[in-house]
Amino acid sequence: MKTTIPHISSAVKRIPWRRIWVWSISFLVLVGIALGGLFSYASTYDMRVFPGVHIGNLPVGGMSREEVTALLEEMNTKLHDAGISLMFTDNGTTHRIRIDSTTVLAENVVELIYMDVAREVDAVLSYKKDQNPIFKGWSAVFTRGTEPHLSLTTVTFDRDRLVERLATALEPFVEEPREAGVSISMVDPLHYTIVSSTVGVTFAYDEILEKSISAWNVLEIPEVSLVQTVKEPTIHDDDVRNILKKLQGVFDTGSLDLTYTDPQTKRDNTWTMTKADIAQWIEVQRHEAGLGFGLTFASTSAFLTDVVAHEIDQEAREARFQVGENGKVNEFQGSRPGLAVDVEQTYEAVNSAVLARSWGDEGTVSSSVPIVVMQVEPYVQTGEVNDLGISEILGIGYSNFSGSPTNRIKNIKHAVEDKLNGLLIKPDEEFSLLRTLEPFTIEGGYLPELVIKGDEIKPEVAGGLCQVGTTMFRTVMNSGLPITQRRNHSLVVSYYNDHRNGQPGTDATIYDPAPDFRFKNDTGNYILLTTDMNVQTGNLYFTFWGTSDGRKGYYSEPVVHKWIPTGSEQIVETTELAPGVRNCQSAHPGAETSFTYTRVLPNGEKVHEVFSSYYRPLPKICLVGVEKIVQPVDSVPQECTFLPDGHVDCSDPVHDTSDVVQEDPETDFQAPSAI
């Protein structure tokens, strides 16, 4: 069977291939022209902002980098000049207040609202350009048609300073809510009244700032309409009534002591918050444990800042060191950490102590709170500025000469500043205070002042230097050095009572040629002595600097085992005073005391040395002037000798002094001593 195949060649020949190719090529050419045009159009904005772009309502399309920069800088200046405008109504009156957005710090104008112009310029120039060249062309066409309005993205602000300015400007129109509390009129016995709570009126400062920054982001001057809001108290009258039974417990413990021990001088300091202070600063507080009576932060922090920190705070001190031609260190400043009372943490501790009283927590009620102190290390340490091994404080000694007469102060000052300050004590040297302070003469720089001589207290050149001896004694003990010679005064003298408990026993007397005060430098390195004397306060500090070998030294408070009465007043007649004139010397009760000096050696061994002191009693002695009796010449006994020439010699008799014994001041306990 024969199959017939259709003939299709004629149909194929009828398709217009040529026309299709012409159309296709034409389309591609048109597309190419269009894309080329878009690319060419976009490339004209490589260094300019795409057309139609705005920042806020300001058109920046087509601007160059320089033009956008100039615009933003101009607007930044304009916005700062205008500041923040606040509008609100109070009691029917409309108020308009301007808040400045710049401030002056250290003679420099600082912007409290800040825009990063360079970053903003980069952002607007690169807007919609992070694409391939073809799509970038379409973006240029798109921005021309849509006209996008951009916002700035780098505006920042100094919230704390702006809020402070807002609070200051709006203060006349703000009333803080008053928490319910108590007003105490008397502590012993306790009398009080309840202070009722009231609502307050305020403004939302963060909302004001948020609206201001939003305006800046679109380069508009901030004009903010304010609405006063009611602020409710958190503690109400009923809350106070529910805890009134706890109020008495706050005062039952008594006053509250704030304590601090100087880490260098080891001197204890105490500041007292009296019950009257607590009554004045008390407030009701809400805590996790419930309601209780605490202290207001404002009043307590003011006390800590004005009273406590004033005596503790000190700046960090950098080290300086220079030895002069005389072998003394004539320029020295030991490095010292800076100290500052941590007011917030100390307040928390104080407030917690008062709250514990009202809550009556067993075992937590206290009558004292330690001061919290922050420490800042200096940049230059002492050991970095010398090669003598002087790198740290070994110990500090303290005494007080308040109430001293002028000559006594001058003698102390001459010894302390001219003789001792900057002194270098060699390794293994036995230091003699007498040899260091001599000569004890007017020419040597000293003046007459009182010393103890037997039963008399009378002026003598260089009196008062036992203040130096006592301070040195305490410095040596706080440094853990061995003492080779020390004697206490023969009388109890208030200048030398221990500063911790006010009792006698930790003094050291010196008097040329004896007694002396001596100690040995067994640290193996040089010791530098520096002094600090304050004539106004009477404070005297000695500091030993050196290289610590791990030793420590301290001494206990002196204990008075026995007070010895002075006995009855003594009257001594004298012709050195005008008849009837009375000149009395104060009584000095005697005492037997002791204390323990402890040295902790580098190996940890403790060496205890007990210093016992006996102070003899001295009664009140009054000199009373009497008439001088003149004996007739004839009644004066004479020895007459007949001379070979016939004359008679009747001269005064010669007194034999061969039986007078001079008491050794080294062994006589009543030997002279400088006061």
Q: What is the pLDDT of residues 229-243, one digit of tens each?
A: 888 999 999 999 999
Stretch 27-31: mean pLDDT: 58
Q: CB–CB of 391/547 below 8 Å?
A: yes
pLDDT of residue 90: 82
- Compute and round to an integer the Cα radius of gyration of the chain: 46
Could you tell me what percent of the chain has a pLDDT over 70? Answer: 79
β-strand partners of 322: 331
Nearest in space to 473 (alpha carbons), one of 422, 414, 440, 515? 515
Q: How far apart are CA 599 and CA 54, in angstroms?
A: 81
Note the Cα 122 to chain centre separation in Å. Answer: 48
pLDDT given at position 623: 83
Which two structure tokens, joined as six digits, stand for 117? Answer: 């112009």
**Beta bridge partners of residue 444, listed in sequence order:** none
What value does the mean pLDDT take over residues 14-31?
Answer: 63
Question: Per-residue pLDDT tens for 277-308?
Answer: 999 999 999 988 789 999 999 999 999 999 99
Q: How sure is the predictor about 655, in pLDDT bands with cuts at 50, 70 and 90? A: very low
DSSP single-letter state for residue 428: T
Task: Indicate the average pLDDT of the chain.
Answer: 83
SS3 of 517-532? CEEECCCCCCEEEEEE
Spatial contact of 233 and 176, defined as CB atoms under 8 Å apart: no
Confidence of residue 463 (pLDDT cuts 50, 70, 90): confident
Residue 159 and residue 302: Cα distance in Å, rounded?
25
Residue 661's pLDDT band (cuts 50, 70, 90):
very low
pLDDT at 322 over 90: no
Place of tokens 């029917």: 92
> In angstroms, rounded to a whole number, what is the distance separating the alpha carbons of residues 419 and 584?
35
Task: Answer positive or negative: Cα dihedral of 5, 10, 11, 12.
Answer: positive
CA distances from 560 to 448, 474, 492, 503 (A): 32, 18, 12, 7
Neighbours of 498 (CB within 10 A): 20
**Torsion angles phi and psi, residue 66, rounded to 5:** -65, -40
Residue 60 in contact with residue 68, Cβ under 8 Å?
yes
Predicted confidence at residue 82, as pLDDT, reads: 93
- Kindly state the tokens that stand for 495: 């200048």
Closest by CA to 404, choosing from 447, 434, 436, 435, is 447
**Which pLDDT value is given to residue 459?**
77
Residue 107 has a pLDDT of 73
Max avg pLDDT among 358-367, 558-567, 639-648:
558-567
Per-residue pLDDT reduced to its tens digit, 526-551: 888 889 999 999 999 999 988 889 99
Confidence (pLDDT) at 651: 47
Q: Is the pTM of this model over 0.75?
A: no
DSSP 342-403: -HHHHHHHHHHHHHHHHHT-TTT--SEEEPPEEEE--SS-GGGS-SSS--EEEEEEEEE-TT
Q: By three-state DSSP, how is residue 288 classified?
A: coil
Question: In this structure, are residues 551 and 478 in contact, taking their beta carbons and an 8 Å threshold?
Answer: no
Residue, of 512 and 474, whose pLDDT is higher: 474
- Range among 261-270, 311-320, 423-432 rated most confident: 423-432
Q: What local confidence, expressed as pLDDT, does residue 266 receive?
A: 74
Among residues 111, 354, 143, which one has the least CA distance to residue 253?
A: 354
Question: What gap in Å lies between CA 283 and CA 178, rounded to an integer?
Answer: 11
Instruction: Report how far Cα 396 is from the mean position of its chain's Cα atoms.
Output: 20
Helix (H, G, I), strand (E, B) or coil at 90: strand
Residue 668 has pLDDT above 50, yes or no: no
The set of residues, in sequence order, having a beta carbon less than 8 Å from that of 94 and lying 6+ positions away, is 87, 88
Q: Say which range, 179-193, 210-224, 261-275, 434-448, has the weakest mean pLDDT.
A: 261-275
- What pLDDT is stored for residue 109 in this prediction? 84
Q: Does 4 have pLDDT greater than 60?
A: no
**Residue 279 confidence (pLDDT):** 94
State residue 425's pLDDT score: 86
Higher pLDDT, 319 or 566: 566
Confidence (pLDDT) at 572: 84
The pLDDT tens digits for 125-176 are: 988 887 666 667 677 777 888 999 999 999 999 999 999 999 999 999 998 8
Name residue, tokens 């500091």.
543
Map out the domains of the chain with their CATH numbers.
238-376 (3.10.20), 387-625+666-674 (no CATH)
**Residue 228 — pLDDT band, cuts 50, 70, 90?**
confident
CA 151 vs CA 99, 328, 483, 544: distances in Å: 23, 70, 80, 66
Residues 446 and 440 sit within 8 Å (Cβ to Cβ): yes
Confidence at residue 108, expressed as pLDDT on a 0 to 100 scale: 81
**What is the model's pLDDT at position 646?**
47
Alpha-carbon span 81 to 77, nearest angstrom: 6
Mean pLDDT over 252-270 rounds to 86
Q: Is the pLDDT of residue 614 over 90?
A: yes
**Token pair for 539:** 């404070």
Return the closest-CA partner of residue 216 out of 111, 70, 329.
111
